[in-house]
């Protein structure tokens, strides 16, 4: 990991130092005389330092700086303003991002580095992000190249709540971006007793995970990394072999078609026209067995392309007994509602939520296929 520590956190800075800090963080430059005077006046009149942060994040300069990193839907690019129609967080939630901005990362050729200092090797990422190589990204509001602010907020909340040690699980991990980001954030807080569990079924994407962890100073052998799918029960399943793993958004075990007797792509919007020749057998590990490996989890991140509710519903008691934060990717409006209904009834708190977006098409074989932009839910267990 290559970074330089800032000399102080925003809470310990003078007015001028804090505003200079936000200029570097949000706009990537030093302040100008007029701008510095303006923001000092704003902070003094509002008596609220977050008003400066909110103002900068709404500025045209910030929007221009991060526009190239905004993610796209499956069908068309999303403009920054579209992401903000329902952002899923309040201005106060954004303060968690500044709390973890105590590192000043240095750019490195061959990598894209985020605002907390975790880095992704550009050649492991999907086509279309090459222009970000060798850059350090600003805080991800409304988004960076791979996720929206709400997901970052949920993950960093789990790290902020940790004390002395940190444990995280990522299901449908791919490169395990959230294991790496949360571990990096934990180290920034002085936590080095870190336990990570990553589960990814595709063998090629699993190898990307191994390399990504090593690139960020995390030794894979010291953590539980499984090349497997996750399910309600253990077993085996047929899995689509991805032709271009780094360009795939994810997959899930394929269901059997009773009429034809072959596996069909009924559950994922990413893959079409697969045949038996394009499939492999994978181990399926039960969610219950994964949760049972540790007595407590600070974070469980689930993004398994539509099976999130089924997993959570099957392990509600174990989740409530052992997990503090749950960050869930959602892939249909039905999944949004099912998760809210289930978790609310057992007392969990929905701290952040952004619904999935879809275009109705009566001819699609699944609700997931209608989805044009995935959603996110951040749940906190009030028992911890």
Q: End of a domain among 219, 251, 284?
A: 284
Same domain for 337 and 273: no
Same domain for 229 and 240: no
* DSSP letter for each residue of 78-146: --HHHHTSS-SS-GGGGHHHHHT--EEEPP-TTEEE-TTS-EEEGGGSPTT-GGGTT-B----SSB-SS
pTM for the model stands at 0.80
Same domain for 261 and 301: no
pLDDT per residue rounded down to tens, the chain (384 residues) = 333 333 333 444 688 888 887 887 778 788 899 999 999 999 888 887 778 887 887 888 877 766 554 443 333 344 445 555 677 888 778 889 888 988 789 999 999 999 999 999 999 999 999 999 999 998 888 889 989 999 999 999 999 999 999 999 999 999 999 999 999 999 999 999 999 999 999 999 999 999 999 999 999 999 999 999 999 999 988 887 777 777 766 655 654 433 333 333 334 444 444 444 477 889 999 999 999 999 999 999 999 988 899 999 999 999 999 999 999 999 999 999 999 999 999 999 999 999 999 899 888 888 888 888 899 999 999 999
Contact yes or no for 136/115 (Cβ under 8 A) = yes
What is the total count of domains within the chain? 3
Closest C-alpha to 364, from 294, 266, 297: 266
- In terms of residue numbers, what domain contains 86? 1-146
Q: End of a domain among 126, 146, 166?
A: 146
Q: Which CATH number does the domain housing residue 341 bear?
A: 3.40.50.150
Same domain for 106 and 202: no
371: number of Cβ within 10 Å = 24
Q: End of a domain among 146, 180, 206?
A: 146
Torsions phi, psi for 181 (to 5 deg): -65, -45
Same domain for 201 and 112: no
Contact yes or no for 121/111 (Cβ under 8 A) = yes
């Amino acid at each position: 990991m290559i970074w330089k520590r800032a000399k102080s956190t925003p809470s310990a800075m003078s007015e001028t130092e804090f505003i200079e800090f936000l200029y570097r963080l949000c706009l990537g430059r030093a302040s100008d005389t007029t701008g510095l005077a303006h923001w000092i006046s704003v902070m003094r009149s509002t008596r609220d330092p977050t008003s400066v942060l909110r103002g900068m994040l709404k500025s045209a300069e910030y929007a221009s700086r991060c526009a190239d990193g905004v993610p796209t839907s499956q069908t068309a690019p999303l403009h920054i303003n579209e992401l903000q129609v329902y952002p899923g967080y309040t201005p106060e939630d954004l303060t968690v991002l500044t709390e973890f901005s105590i590192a000043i990362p240095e750019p490195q050729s061959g990598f894209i580095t985020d605002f907390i200092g975790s880095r992704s090797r550009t050649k492991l990422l999907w086509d279309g992000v090459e222009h970000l190589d060798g850059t350090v990204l600003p805080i991800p509001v409304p988004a960076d190249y791979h996720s929206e602010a709400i997901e970052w907020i949920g993950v960093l909340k789990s790290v902020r709540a940790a004390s002395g040690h940190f444990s995280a699980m990522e299901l449908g991990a791919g490169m395990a971006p959230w294991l790496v980001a949360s571990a990096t954030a934990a180290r920034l807080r002085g936590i080095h007793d870190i336990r990570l569990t990553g589960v990814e079924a595709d063998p090629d994407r699993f190898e990307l995970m191994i390399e990504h962890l090593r690139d960020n100073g995390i030794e894979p052998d010291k953590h539980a990394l499984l090349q497997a799918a996750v399910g309600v029960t253990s077993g085996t399943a047929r899995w689509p072999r991805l032709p271009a793993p780094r360009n795939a958004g994810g997959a899930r075990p394929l269901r059997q078609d009773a009429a034809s007797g072959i596996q069909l792509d009924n559950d994922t919007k990413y893959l079409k026209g697969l045949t038996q020749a394009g499939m492999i057998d994978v181990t399926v590990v039960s969610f219950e067995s994964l949760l049972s490996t540790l007595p407590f989890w600070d974070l469980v991140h689930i993004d398994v392309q539509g099976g999130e509710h089924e997993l959570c519903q099957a392990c509600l008691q174990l989740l409530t007994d052992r997990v503090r934060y749950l960050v869930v990717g959602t892939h249909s409006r039905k999944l949004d509602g099912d998760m809210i209904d289930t978790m609310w009834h057992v007392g969990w708190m929905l701290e952040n939520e952004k619904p999935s977006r879809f275009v109705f098409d009566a001819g699609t074989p699944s609700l997931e296929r209608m989805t044009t932009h995935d959603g996110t839910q951040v749940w906190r267990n009030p028992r911890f």
